[in-house]
Structure 1
Amino acid sequence: MATHQISCFVNGVKADIEIESSHLLIDVLRDKLGLISVKRSCDMQVCGACTVLIDGKPVSSCTTLAVEMDGADILTAEGLSAGGNLHPIQQAFIDKGALQCGFCTYGMMLSSLALLKESPNPSEQEIQHYLHGNICRCTGYTSIIKAVQQAAVSGGNGE
């Protein structure tokens, strides 16, 4: 199998990684870089558990080839907090009880962050629409919507 050297930024840190042509981004993030917040679930771009931000946009890492990431800026949940402080989206999910088992939480948070960058004060309908690709089997979505609304008020778009 042919290998490739890619260079990208992962959670703000430059990463030079040798990968095979067929490696999926989820496998590189989890197995090569140890970023276990990226969850494997459906492997079909349906559930959102593997969501990461690539150049600020939510992407399913389970269907993305890692070779396409050369030069990209990738953010996983491990990169949300800074200086020992939780990101406003993380704090809002805790405050509003928007997590149960936690399996979907990281993908929800990253998708919510992307939404807040696009629309700093989204309506409930905008939040519902934006998160339609993220599935939660535990909490229901009311607490998640409230968490996104709280993060919007507290500057959760990171700017």
Structure 2
Amino acid sequence: MLRAIFNCGDEATTTEIRDMTGLSNSQVAYRREKLREYGLIDVRTGEPTGSRTPPKCHSLTPSAQSHIEAGLFDLYNPPVTSDVEQLSSQVNHLRDRIDELDETITLLEERLQRLQSTLNLRVGNHAEVHEATDGEKIVNVITELQATLADIQEEVTELDERKKDKFLR
């Protein structure tokens, strides 16, 4: 309310205050009494216009003017630039965090692909193992893999023997 009076040239009617602040008549009346108690405003009856009740005119006291000059409004409304700078800093921090998370996701995806490749090399088709839902299926897959491994070992042994035979001839 003080700011509204100040913005009207140090004097404002109740209607002007309501228009500038959005306060109701009762809210203006309550604040008027509090500001009068604190010695920050004086109130007088304005000039009557027709048959209407004359408006109340609110004016700043010298005490209010000195408080305003000392920075009273700055206490309640810090400069907008600091808010903008703070928001800009927060946005930049969030963008940096998003970039970090993107990098982490990329690294995790690469790691998952390497693990899947390793699994395929060691176990075979991981989809078959993954599809197994009970112990019997898992045992069957492992048994098949062991049999395949045994066959490969036999072939390697056989190739080694052929190689020796060829070399000794």
Q: What is the TM-score with the length of structure 1 in the denominator?
A: 0.19
Structure with the larger strand share:
1
Q: What is the TM-score with the length of structure 2 in the denominator?
A: 0.18
Structure with the larger helix share:
2
